[in-house]
Chain A
Amino acid sequence: MSEVKINRLERWGIPFCDEMTDENVEYLLQMPLFSQGMIDPENFNDRLPLAGILKNDSRLMNCKEGEIIIREGEWGNSAFFLLSGSVRIIIERAQNSIPPELLGQPQRKRKSVLEILKQCFNRDSESEQRDLASYAPQAYSANLKSSRIYLQDFDQIVDCYKTTRIDAIDFFGEQSALGRLERSATVFADGDCEILEVRWQGIRDLMNKAPWLKTQIDMRFRAYGLYSFLKNSPYFEHLSIDENATENDHERKRSLSQHVFNHAELRTYGKYDQVDSFLSLVEHGTASNLAHEPLIAREGDYVEGIYIIRSGIARVSHRYNNGHRTISYLTPGHAFGVAEVVEGWRDGKPTHLCHSLRAVGYVTVVFIPSAIFELAVLEELFDRQKNKTTYSGLKGSNTPQNTTHLDNGLMEFLVERRFVNGSATMVIDLDRCTRCDDCVRACAATHDQNPRFLRQGPVHDKYMIANACMHCADPVCMIQCPTGAIHRNSLAGEVIVNDLTCIGCGSCANNCPYDAIRMVQIRDQNGNLVYPTQTKRRQADGTQVVRKLTPLDPEWQPIEKATKCDLCSDQITGPACQNACPHDALIRLDLGSYETAAQWFKR
């Protein structure tokens, strides 16, 4: 039994930032955001008081001019309330956005060669050993504090890049924190400002208790979400304004863009935080009955416009006998209905949809009415008289239907069980796999002697989808994590568990529909199981009582942590499993990218 003191962590066991003092909280509560009814402390109950959320789920930042707060492309798990001062958001993306050197993108942390060597030869130890000293709260907070980075040439950047300013009181960053998406823009401080950063668990609670915030976020979701999406969509690339365009050109493009923005709609399908139904779906498959999948557009209906997927996955299907045959699946950026709109426009008569589009899980879609699409895209890019306008001439018409084909049964299997959600799905070709388990051993060797997957899982034809984390496009495992321990790596977006803040509650393991998370009992460096030494209980009056634990208490259970595949993000070789397979049987496949996936399946 371990001598080291360790307690079972609770929701607020490890605060987001340990520098938040009661004075800070007092100070915050005086600020207009909380004192003028926007977020009203009265609405919160004793179990989840506003002061508690502020103290444990947030941190206060004082930023100086040019300090970078959010970087485009990173994965963020928190949102920001601008309490005073102002910030700037860079609104251009892609080739027009600030080069990464200027943003001081942090380097990915990988093990050093020495650490790797140690790991190679340290094979006899017990599995899942931990250095308990690392669980000290100071150690964790030190981990969190990132070094501050400032834009080198502030004035020049403000001059050269298109930015928009937002002033206190306001908030930003909630879209990606709540949507489990990438940050869509870079944000930096415009002069001194005070910012409250709240991790997403806190935002979720704030939203539940503050109707103002919820309405604002919903509104923003529609307006900004739409704006940033249209800005980056390849369909509307020709409307972006470049230097050598004439004044006239500018004007026309601007008015067309505005026109598109005014008429486009952001629609959502499915429930954002519903895991239960999703779980059972994955477990049981769905056969030919697609009734449970919200319909986005119905086969045979008159074409009203095009649908561009913003997030999530949608199934394209075709009525077949008594069921629906899946033709393909669409991932963000792909559009549906373009061919039909083009055809209708070219032939000058109404057309009907050839396929249905359904939401697989939670999906957001940008809908553009036919008339608008014709005006802003087709009329601009093509000559109707030529009568040769085809859909493939369109930029961004990368819809997979017309390229490499996946075997139909395989596709049904991948979509039905929602493996297409995976950005690094472990696929094993059983016709090549010699069942040698080199992959499993390599995984164990790189992960505390405990393999993070089993060579086991659903099989279709000769392909096994092994029970390894697929690093989902929409990681539902994160939904109920109380501490935010399971999160997306800000750099590459792998879904990883922060061992220090994991309280072992098992929510993620229960929520993952693919069985990819295992709860394990940890051991100290002598190889002994670790037990909690005390427990805290909050009483009705809000005070906490601490009680010592003895082996006779029912709470005297070994401490557990969630473990899962981290895609070897700290290794220098990339995923050890794939690297170790002698027979090219195993691959980590991005099923969101239909083309690459289809190519591999066809090799």
Chain B
Amino acid sequence: MKSFTIRRTLSLVFTLLVAAAIILVWIIKTTTLTGSYISGWTLSGMIVYLSLYNLRKKLPSLPLGSSSLWMQFHIYCGLLTALVFAIHLQFNVPTGMFESILAINYLLVFFSGIFGLYITRTYPSRLSNLGDEVFFEYIPVLKRKLHDQIEILSLNCSSNSGQTEIPEFYRDNLRAFVVGRPAVLSHLLGNSSRRWRIVLQAVTDHRRYMNEDEQQIMNEIEKLLKRKYQLDAQYVMQGALKVWLFIHIPATYSLLIFMFFHSLLVHAWSGGLS
């Protein structure tokens, strides 16, 4: 079995070779008008190929090659499009309205792809580090339950253990964390542990003023708080792993449409290939 390092190196070398070839062709053709045609058709060919991945995923039982193979070609071919795109635009910023929209659309697909690649390669291990695998769809329900449990524990404890500050402490220091929405950005960036540390510190600080019974209750609450933190992190990261595709794929469709009209226009104006 090939290790991932070997695979990555080989693919990268191959991609660089293709890139070199493209640059060579560009240098030869750069001055002629047909150069733009070639780069244009190459680019659209590549983009159509990249988009076909969506179709491949919808037909899992056809012998079209494994999805992971497609993914590999997709990534490296996707990266190469940047070069062809730059060549096609002759390293200029487009001027026309239509061309600008087309270019922005392309960039949206491209950079969402880069972002997607980044998170698909980094979030999985962060998710597994959290432990406790949960289905994305279950998380809201689990959080709801957790919230109820925490409230019952912290708000009802006054009745059986006499005078206690826990409900107040909960209201002032923990409630915001428990009912609040997850700190999306910090979970995305991977520095959410700071926020968690603050909550934990508040609990630890407050323990000074608690008796045995209250400590017991606090232990329970702390466990649940930790779970809430994990669920938040799971939710944000799993969500991101799904949501980015809601940009990448629709943008791909619109790119295909714009591309189609772009080629029509170009050929209409130039009177076709000479």
Interface set of A (CB-CB < 8 Å, partner B): 116-117, 119-120, 430-436, 438, 441-442, 445-446, 455-456, 459, 462, 464, 571-573, 576, 578-585, 599-600, 603
Residue of A116, A464, A579 ringed by the most chain B CB atoms within 10 A:
A579
Asked if B1 contacts A599 (CB within 8 A), the reply is: yes
- Of the A-B pairs whose beta carbons lie under 8 Å apart in the complex, a sample of 24, sorted by A's number, is A120-B62, A430-B128, A430-B133, A431-B128, A435-B127, A435-B238, A435-B241, A438-B57, A442-B60, A445-B60, A445-B61, A455-B135, A571-B61, A572-B61, A576-B60, A576-B61, A580-B57, A580-B60, A580-B66, A580-B67, A581-B67, A581-B68, A582-B68, A584-B4
CB-CB under 8 A for A431 and B125, given A116-B61, A116-B62: yes
Asked if A582 contacts B71 (CB within 8 A), the reply is: yes
Contact among A576, A583, A600, A603 with B71 in the assembled complex (CB-CB below 8 Å): A583
Q: Which residues of A contact B125 (CB under 8 A)?
A: 430-431, 462
Residue of A117, A435, A576 ringed by the most chain B CB atoms within 10 A:
A435
Asked if A462 contacts B70 (CB within 8 A), the reply is: no
Within 8 A of A (CB), among B119-173: 120, 123-125, 127-128, 131, 133, 135-136
Asked if A119 contacts B128 (CB within 8 A), the reply is: no
Q: Which residues of B contact A583 (CB under 8 A)?
A: 68, 71, 120, 124
Asked if A582 contacts B70 (CB within 8 A), the reply is: yes
Asked if A573 contacts B61 (CB within 8 A), the reply is: yes
Q: How far apart are B118's CB and chain A's nearest CB, in angstroms?
A: 12
Asked if A120 contacts B71 (CB within 8 A), the reply is: no
B211 within 8 A of A: no
CB-CB under 8 A for A441 and B124, given A582-B70, A584-B68: no
B59 within 8 A of A: yes
Interface set of B (CB-CB < 8 Å, partner A): 1-4, 57-63, 66-68, 70-71, 120, 123-125, 127-128, 131, 133, 135-136, 238, 241-242
Q: Which residues of B contact A600 (CB under 8 A)?
A: 1
Asked if B123 contacts A434 (CB within 8 A), the reply is: yes
Asked if B67 contacts A582 (CB within 8 A), the reply is: yes
Contact among A116, A430, A434, A441 with B241 in the assembled complex (CB-CB below 8 Å): A434
Asked if A462 contacts B128 (CB within 8 A), the reply is: yes
Q: Which residues of A contact B136 (CB under 8 A)?
A: 435
Asked if A572 contacts B60 (CB within 8 A), the reply is: no
Contact among A432, A442, A603 with B1 in the assembled complex (CB-CB below 8 Å): A603
Q: How far apart are B128's CB and chain A's nearest CB, in angstroms?
A: 4
Cα–Cα distance between A431 and B71 once the two chains are bound (Å): 17
Asked if B68 contacts A446 (CB within 8 A), the reply is: no
Cα–Cα distance between A117 and B58 once the two chains are bound (Å): 11
Cα–Cα distance between A435 and B242 once the two chains are bound (Å): 9
Cα–Cα distance between A578 and B60 once the two chains are bound (Å): 10
Cα–Cα distance between A442 and B1 once the two chains are bound (Å): 24
Q: Which residues of B contact A434 (CB under 8 A)?
A: 120, 123-124, 241
Q: Which residues of A contact B123 (CB under 8 A)?
A: 434
Asked if A433 contacts B124 (CB within 8 A), the reply is: yes
Q: Which residues of A contact B67 (CB under 8 A)?
A: 438, 579-582
Asked if A430 contacts B127 (CB within 8 A), the reply is: yes
Q: How far apart are A324's CB and chain B's nearest CB, in angstroms?
A: 27
Q: How far apart are A75's CB and chain B's nearest CB, in angstroms?
A: 25
Q: How far apart are B241's CB and chain A's nearest CB, in angstroms?
A: 5
Contact among B57, B63, B68 with A572 in the assembled complex (CB-CB below 8 Å): B63
Q: Which residues of A contact B238 (CB under 8 A)?
A: 435
B126 nearest CB neighbor, chain A only:
A431
Q: Which residues of B contact A459 (CB under 8 A)?
A: 128, 131, 133
Q: Which residues of B contact A581 (CB under 8 A)?
A: 67-68
Q: How far apart are A595's CB and chain B's nearest CB, in angstroms?
A: 11
Asked if B66 contacts A579 (CB within 8 A), the reply is: yes
Q: Which residues of B contact A462 (CB under 8 A)?
A: 125, 128
Q: Which residues of B contact A432 (CB under 8 A)?
A: 124
Q: Which residues of A contact B66 (CB under 8 A)?
A: 578-580
Cα–Cα distance between A269 and B67 once the two chains are bound (Å): 44
Cα–Cα distance between A431 and B125 once the two chains are bound (Å): 4
Cα–Cα distance between A518 and B40 once the two chains are bound (Å): 53
Cα–Cα distance between A178 and B242 once the two chains are bound (Å): 49
Cα–Cα distance between A472 and B63 once the two chains are bound (Å): 27
Q: Which residues of B contact A579 (CB under 8 A)?
A: 60, 66-67
Cα–Cα distance between A578 and B123 once the two chains are bound (Å): 21
Q: Which residues of B contact A584 (CB under 8 A)?
A: 4, 68
Asked if A441 contacts B63 (CB within 8 A), the reply is: no
Residue of A119, A432, A456 ringed by the most chain B CB atoms within 10 A:
A432
Q: How far apart are A597's CB and chain B's nearest CB, in angstroms?
A: 11
B237 nearest CB neighbor, chain A only:
A435
Asked if B133 contacts A464 (CB within 8 A), the reply is: yes
Cα–Cα distance between A456 and B132 once the two chains are bound (Å): 11
Q: How far apart are A488's CB and chain B's nearest CB, in angstroms?
A: 24
Q: How far apart are A283's CB and chain B's nearest CB, in angstroms?
A: 18
Q: Which residues of A contact B128 (CB under 8 A)?
A: 430-431, 459, 462
Q: How far apart are A34's CB and chain B's nearest CB, in angstroms?
A: 49
Cα–Cα distance between A462 and B63 once the two chains are bound (Å): 30
Cα–Cα distance between A431 and B133 once the two chains are bound (Å): 12
Cα–Cα distance between A436 and B128 once the two chains are bound (Å): 14
Q: Which residues of B contact A464 (CB under 8 A)?
A: 133
Cα–Cα distance between A600 and B2 once the two chains are bound (Å): 9
Q: Which residues of B contact A433 (CB under 8 A)?
A: 124
Cα–Cα distance between A430 and B133 once the two chains are bound (Å): 9
Q: Which residues of A contact B1 (CB under 8 A)?
A: 599-600, 603
Q: Which residues of B contact A603 (CB under 8 A)?
A: 1-4
Cα–Cα distance between A430 and B58 once the two chains are bound (Å): 24
Q: How far apart are B187's CB and chain A's nearest CB, in angstroms?
A: 15
Cα–Cα distance between A456 and B71 once the two chains are bound (Å): 24
Q: Which residues of A contact B131 (CB under 8 A)?
A: 459
Residue of B1, B125, B133, B238 ringed by the most chain A CB atoms within 10 A:
B133
Q: Which residues of A contact B242 (CB under 8 A)?
A: 436
Q: How far apart are A405's CB and chain B's nearest CB, in angstroms?
A: 16
Q: Which residues of B contact A430 (CB under 8 A)?
A: 124-125, 127-128, 133
B2 nearest CB neighbor, chain A only:
A603
Q: How far apart are B27's CB and chain A's nearest CB, in angstroms?
A: 36
Asked if B61 contacts A431 (CB within 8 A), the reply is: no
Asked if A120 contacts B59 (CB within 8 A), the reply is: yes
Cα–Cα distance between A580 and B70 once the two chains are bound (Å): 10
Q: Which residues of A contact B59 (CB under 8 A)?
A: 120
Cα–Cα distance between A438 and B64 once the two chains are bound (Å): 15
13 further A-B pairs in the complex, CB-CB below 8 A; given A430-B127, A434-B120, A572-B61: A120-B61, A431-B128, A434-B241, A436-B242, A445-B60, A446-B60, A462-B125, A572-B63, A573-B60, A579-B66, A580-B60, A585-B124, A603-B3
CB-CB under 8 A for A446 and B61, given A430-B128, A431-B125: yes
Q: How far apart are A458's CB and chain B's nearest CB, in angstroms?
A: 10
Cα–Cα distance between A455 and B128 once the two chains are bound (Å): 14
Cα–Cα distance between A509 and B61 once the two chains are bound (Å): 27
Q: Which residues of B contact A119 (CB under 8 A)?
A: 61
Cα–Cα distance between A263 and B155 once the two chains are bound (Å): 76
A116 nearest CB neighbor, chain B only:
B61
B75 nearest CB neighbor, chain A only:
A582
Cα–Cα distance between A600 and B3 once the two chains are bound (Å): 9
Q: How far apart are B95's CB and chain A's nearest CB, in angstroms?
A: 38
Asked if B124 contacts A431 (CB within 8 A), the reply is: yes
Q: Which residues of B contact A441 (CB under 8 A)?
A: 60
Residue of A116, A430, A446, A462 ringed by the most chain B CB atoms within 10 A:
A430
Cα–Cα distance between A579 and B135 once the two chains are bound (Å): 22
A463 nearest CB neighbor, chain B only:
B128
Asked if A436 contacts B241 (CB within 8 A), the reply is: yes
Q: Which residues of B contact A582 (CB under 8 A)?
A: 57, 67-68, 70-71
